[in-house]
Structure 1
């Protein structure tokens, strides 16, 4: 299914020649129209595959889970159903210190980002919008997912260090923004999208 060049993936497994595997997974949401997606990477060990990485929304685990105490590794090897116990605590800790955000902003961030899955609502019309389902359409549409043109890194950094949450009306402005941390400063000049599959043009 394509929503303004946004590709919705169905589950698949690819076995790599290096003895590893990569998979895309999905779970049904509160209704059959809402699904959450994430990818995992596993490596072979003793005849079985062991998950070593998990990714759904870029930046989430990378920002909130520290290398100390193996927090990053624990989340990489966990399933989304474990995020309420693991990732939620990482977000709480990071948003309190060093980010220094308010309890209200922190609560919204946890509600939006836990569990760490890319959510889409197939009952909604319109274009894809990163965090659209989680925010009730505040980021541009209720379908969710992400468009190729969505700057998901800057959006995520804006949630953590900027005024994205208060601008969307999801929590009062806590005045604790750090503007220098709200962007990776990578613009769209090098991006080249096409109107047909595979949608990504040759590098420029």
Structure 2
């Protein structure tokens, strides 16, 4: 306890500056990534769509990102409007959702799907293969398998994985939870 009291005055003094002028700093957001593969799949580099989505606030995703999802899902991927509507409902806004009122464990897209992916808490576990899950939503049968829309039979199985596994072999049960590099 004695050591803590010695550190407090040092921390207070370290925060004190000798400058008499205040400098206001402004920052420009250049990238925003909550869910891997969302902006990368749906927003093209053409027309600066990818850049625009990186620089806007999540509150603008309802028009910007939702339009990119609509265009990609129906025109490029050829998916049904029902599947497209589910994808927009689940992925917009592009933020990581965690329902702190839930007591179950983390499950990627859990909160957004009402627990269809394994739990209602949301967030993600270290072992969740979020890229494969996202690609499965876009190009696979994930939406219909979860009972969120009828199977539109427009899946493209070869595009449902990045073929990089989320193997638990390099995770540990203690902080920092990552094992030795492979």
TM-score norm. by structure 2 comes to: 0.84
Structure 2 unmatched runs, 5+: 1-24
**Greater helix proportion:** 2
Q: How does 1:154-173 map to 2 (within 5 A)?
A: 154-173=132-151
Q: Distance in 2 between matches of 1:98 and 1:109?
A: 15
Q: Distance in 2 between matches of 1:165 and 1:181?
A: 15
- Is 2:59 the counterpart of 1:81? yes
**Which one has a bigger Cα radius of gyration?**
2
Partner of 2:43: 65
RMSD between superposed Cα atoms in Å: 1.1
- Is 2:22 the counterpart of 1:51? no
Aligned-pair distance for 1:189? 4.7
Structure 1 unmatched runs, 5+: 1-46
SS in structure 2 opposite 1:54? coil
**What are the Cα deviations for residues 149-196 of structure 1, in whole angstroms up to 9, with x where unaligned?**
000000000000000000000000000000000001112458511111
Q: Which of residues 140, 148, 160 is equivalent to 2:126?
A: 148
Aligned length: 158
Partner of 1:175: 153
Change (3 A) 1:189 1:124: closer
The answer to whether the 8 Å contact 2:127/2:168 transfers is: no
Deviating above 3 A after TM superposition, structure 1's stretches of 4 or more consecutive aligned residues are 188-191
Partner of 1:137: 115
Partner of 1:101: 79
Aligned-pair distance for 1:106? 0.2
TM-score norm. by structure 1 comes to: 0.75
Q: Which of residues 181, 192, 197 is equivalent to 2:170?
A: 192
**What are the Cα deviations for residues 74-105 of structure 1, in whole angstroms up to 9, with x where unaligned?**
00000000000100000000001210000000
Q: Distance in 2 between matches of 1:198 and 1:62?
A: 28
Q: Distance in 2 between matches of 1:198 and 1:101?
A: 40
SS in structure 2 opposite 1:120? coil
Aligned-pair distance for 1:49? 1.6
Aligned-pair distance for 1:202? 1.5
The answer to whether the 8 Å contact 1:121/1:142 transfers is: yes
